[in-house]
Amino acid sequence: MTESLAITRVTHACHLIEIGDLTVLTDPWFSSKPFYHSGEPIAFQPEQLPHLDAVVISHEHYDHCDLKAFSRYADKDVPMIVAGPVVEMAKKVGFTNVTPLEKWETAQVGDLTFNAAPGEHGVYEVTYVISGGGRSVYFAGDTLLIPELRTLTDRFGPLDVTLLPVNGLHIRMDHNRQVVMNAEEAAELTSVLKPKLAIPQHYAFTGGPIGDRLFLKSDKDPSLYVDAARRLVPDVPVKVIDPGERLTIDA
């Protein structure tokens, strides 16, 4: 039997993924600080979240790993599947059930399987294929497009949903180095993975007026990905989700 599947955007790369009656939170981000602003509403605060069955964290950057704010979530024993450098950070703010995964390693939480896939960013990162109940979702954090990602469906089978970053973030002060895939690269990966539905993430983020002018450069319009995906893989539907919007994915 295929379970129900729904995705709710919280903000940025923070989502609630519901597979059947199990709920997973991705890359928690609930607050701002200098040079880190979501650029869009944050739909929920930790106290407003539903019961979580698991949390996945791709890497340690503040906009994906806002653990100080997330520590207001009541259940400190919630299973957390994280990149290795995040383990001590999570334990430091009180979380007790923290499992690190290296790429291609797997963890089980109830009926859900968490397959860690590679990522490449300014710091160590892993991405995740989350599966269970006949459903499968790829959550890509904010990785660059790297060759290993093209093998995901060969390794893990068909995907219902891909959540791919699309803003092509560059670091101006580091010789304009790119650290996140852009809309065209995300569309190229979509054409390889061919999910039932593609959802962009990681686009509204801003470093603020000073940060964007001096330190960062990125595309903040998700329609760039929508247009590229329609051109490269027209048979895959693409949906941009607003913060707080819950999208149910048909079987």
Rounded to 5°, angle at Cα 113 from 81 and 10:
55
Rounded distance between C-alpha atoms, residue 20 and residue 72, angstroms? 26
Predicted confidence (pLDDT) per residue in 163-216, tens digit: 999 999 999 999 999 999 999 999 999 999 999 999 999 999 999 999 999 999
Q: Are strands 54-57 and 80-82 parallel, antiparallel or unpaired?
A: parallel
> What is the predicted pLDDT for the residue at 163?
99
Rounded to the nearest angstrom, the gap between the alpha carbon of residue 244 and the centroid of all alpha carbons in its chain is 16
Fold exhibited by the domain 5-249: Metallo-beta-lactamase; Chain A (3.60.15)
Classified as helix, coil or strand, 54 is: strand
DSSP for 196-235 reads SEEEEES-S-B-HHHHHHHTEE----THHHHHHHHHH-TT
* Burial readout 26-52 (b: 16 or more C-beta within 10 A, e: otherwise): bbbbbbbeebbbbbbebbbebeebeeb
Confidence class for position 251, pLDDT limits 50, 70, 90: confident
The vertex-164 CA angle with 159 and 170, nearest 5°, equals 155
The confidence score (pLDDT) of residue 1 equals: 77
Give domain limits for the chain: 5-249
Query: Helices in 77-182 by DSSP H: which ranges?
Result: 87-92, 152-156
Assign 232 a pLDDT band (cuts: 50, 70, 90). very high
Q: What is the pLDDT of residue 217?
A: 96
Model confidence at 236, in pLDDT bands (50, 70, 90)?
A: very high
**Phi and psi torsions of 216, nearest 5°:** -125, 155
Give pLDDT tens digits for 123-146: 999 999 999 999 999 999 999 999
pLDDT of 106 reads 98
Strands of the sheet with 80-82, listed across from one edge? 98-100, 80-82, 54-57, 22-26, 14-19, 5-11, 246-249
pLDDT digits (tens, 9 = 90+) for 84-118: 999 999 999 999 999 999 999 999 999 999 999 99
> In Å, how far from its chain's centre is CA 234?
23
What is the per-residue pLDDT across 2-58, written as a single tens digit (0 to 9) for each? 999 999 999 999 999 999 999 999 999 999 999 999 999 999 999 999 999 999 999
Residue 6: its pLDDT value, please? 98
